[in-house]
Amino acid sequence: MADPWSSSLDVHLGWSPGEGRQSLADAIRAAIRDGRWQPGAAVPSTRALAHDLGIARGTVTRVYADLAAEGYLLTSQGAPTRVTTAGTRPHPSPSRPATEPASRWTLRPGQPDLSAFPRDAWSSATRRVMQHAPGEVFGYSEPHGTLALREALARYLGRSRGVLADPGRILVCAGFTHAISVLSRALLDLGSAELAFEDPSMWMFRDIAAAAGQRVVGVPVDDDGLQVSKVDSPAVMVTPAHHYPLGVTLAPSRRTALVRSGAMIIEDDYDGEFRFDRQQVGALQALAPERVVYAGTASKTLAPALRLSWLVLPASLVDPVFAAMSASGARPSVVDQLVLAELLESGAYDQHVRRCRTEYRRRRDQLVAALPEHLAVQGISAGLQLVIRLGCEDEILAEARRRSLDLEVLGPHWINQGDREGGIIVGYAAPAKHAFSATLATLLATLTEVTPGSC
């Protein structure tokens, strides 16, 4: 027998039977005028609405016919009846713009080529997860992450980044900023209330740590990376493989000095997979797994939109960080975690990373070769962006905006504004492959327009 409840849409009309035909029509008109039944939306079938309201189907049919005649509804043979789009109250305008107007060209740093997102692999992996996952996975999840993903990450991080990872010490978060917030809170709960950042460093991460109650201080960076001898905080966040945004690598002697400094180290390995000139430098974490929190993300390798990141924790931080995670209330989707685990285990993730690495290396080479000689590129051949030093950030930004080019400057990344040097951060990974050359030409035109005159 067909299930009478499964045939149509749920509606709420605020109407009860016994009030007669006119009144149901009134209720529907009000729903349309209020925007509860929105322009273009399908309305319930006559059968379902009659069932829900406990009235005869013929009544609903007549009311629908009346409302169609009045222009509220649009009926058409063989298709669901819909709310008409003409003559109804306009859709209330959002209290803020839905999206910022997009630039035509993007060189946004830290963003991978979104057009390369492995859509087919994601679809297929989702289908496999849906076919094979036991029902229990759809329930309330383990707060520290789905076991299948933690196991897959332990294997992946071990072989690709040299991380000593135990699934029981991994925490999966809803984005990298979530991981920073949770860590900051856990450190605070342990009495560690000051967090040092590299100067410069990603300003947003400092804001997140500060919002979680940490006092933020800066430690300068030179060509050998963080000036470790100047670290004087109980905890420090560092990008040893490829400094963000300057692109330098933490020198071997400083790696050793850092893990011996006594500070709790947060190793932000945001783009450790992308080194072009030689095999990657392994994670700092392997040198001192009880002093280093390893932090990684799928935002650079797959897509920021997945909001998936992970921490590998020293034993002493497991309980405090898991507690802070629970207190945050947020957890990443289990479905996405299972899909990522599937991609990691099948090798599709590695395949995607390698394809992107080849492409990004090619782009970086093309960019460096095309730059005018007087512009110096900083940092190693790695990652998703490079820095070009130049003085006139504001002029460059203004010119880029005129050309509809999305670009960032060093400015907001500095902590101590006295130390600041000017520069632009060129995210060469961001454009779609077909658009890269045109984007590069736009960048060069921007630089040519500004630099000779004003910097």
* 241 part of the interface to a copy of itself, by CB under 8 A: no
Backbone CA torsion sign across 134, 136, 137, 142: negative
179 vs 231 by CB, closer to a copy of itself:
179
- Rounded to 10 degrees, the C-alpha dihedral 161/164/167/168 comes to -140
* 259 part of the interface to a copy of itself, by CB under 8 A: no
Supply the minimum distance, in Å, between the C-beta of residue 95 and a copy of itself.
Answer: 4
* 101 part of the interface to a copy of itself, by CB under 8 A: no
Using CB under 8 A, which of 72, 105, 122, 270 touches a copy of itself? 122
| Contacting a copy of itself within 332-371 (CB under 8 A) | 332-336, 347, 350-351, 353-355, 357-358
Q: In this chain, which stretch among 230-238, 324-332, 382-390, 447-455 interacts with a copy of itself, using CB under 8 A?
A: 324-332
Supply the minimum distance, in Å, between the C-beta of residue 67 and a copy of itself.
Answer: 15
* 171 part of the interface to a copy of itself, by CB under 8 A: no
* 141 part of the interface to a copy of itself, by CB under 8 A: yes
Using CB under 8 A, which of 175, 240, 320, 423 touches a copy of itself? 175
Q: Which of 78, 77, 40, 43 shows the shortest CA–CA distance to 63?
A: 43
Give bridge partners of residue 171 from the DSSP assignment. 311
Using CB under 8 A, which of 60, 178, 270, 312 touches a copy of itself? 178
Backbone CA torsion sign across 9, 15, 17, 21: negative
- Residues near 286 by beta carbon (within 8 Å), at least 6 away in sequence: 162, 163, 164
The pairs formed by 11-17 with CB atoms below 8 angstroms and a separation of 24 or more are 11/37, 11/43, 11/44, 11/49, 11/52, 12/36, 13/53, 15/53, 16/53, 17/53, 17/54, 17/55
* 135 part of the interface to a copy of itself, by CB under 8 A: yes
Q: What x-and-dash track marks residues 431-450 binding a copy of itself by CB under 8 A?
A: -x------------------
Q: Which of 352, 354, 380, 361 shows the shortest CA–CA distance to 428?
A: 361
| Contacting a copy of itself within 384-423 (CB under 8 A) | none
162 vs 423 by CB, closer to a copy of itself:
162
Q: In this chain, which stretch among 229-237, 274-282, 369-377, 388-396 interacts with a copy of itself, using CB under 8 A?
A: 274-282
124 vs 378 by CB, closer to a copy of itself:
124
Supply the minimum distance, in Å, between the C-beta of residue 442 and a copy of itself.
Answer: 18
Give bridge partners of residue 226 from the DSSP assignment. 221
Supply the minimum distance, in Å, between the C-beta of residue 164 and a copy of itself.
Answer: 6
Backbone CA torsion sign across 303, 304, 306, 307: positive
Please report, for the chain, how many H helices and E strands are present, in that order. 13, 16
* 376 part of the interface to a copy of itself, by CB under 8 A: no
Q: Is the peptide bond preceding residue 252 cis, with omega within 30 degrees of 0?
A: no
Question: Which amino acid is present at 375?
Answer: L
What secondary structure letter does DSSP report for 282? P
Question: Which amino acid is present at 122?
Answer: W
Using CB under 8 A, which of 180, 295, 407, 415 touches a copy of itself? 180
* 19 part of the interface to a copy of itself, by CB under 8 A: no
What b-and-e string marks burial along 206-236, b requiring 16 or more CB atoms within 10 Å of the CB? bebbeebebebbbbebeeebbebeebebbbb
Q: In this chain, which stretch among 51-59, 192-200, 230-238, 438-446 interacts with a copy of itself, using CB under 8 A?
A: 51-59
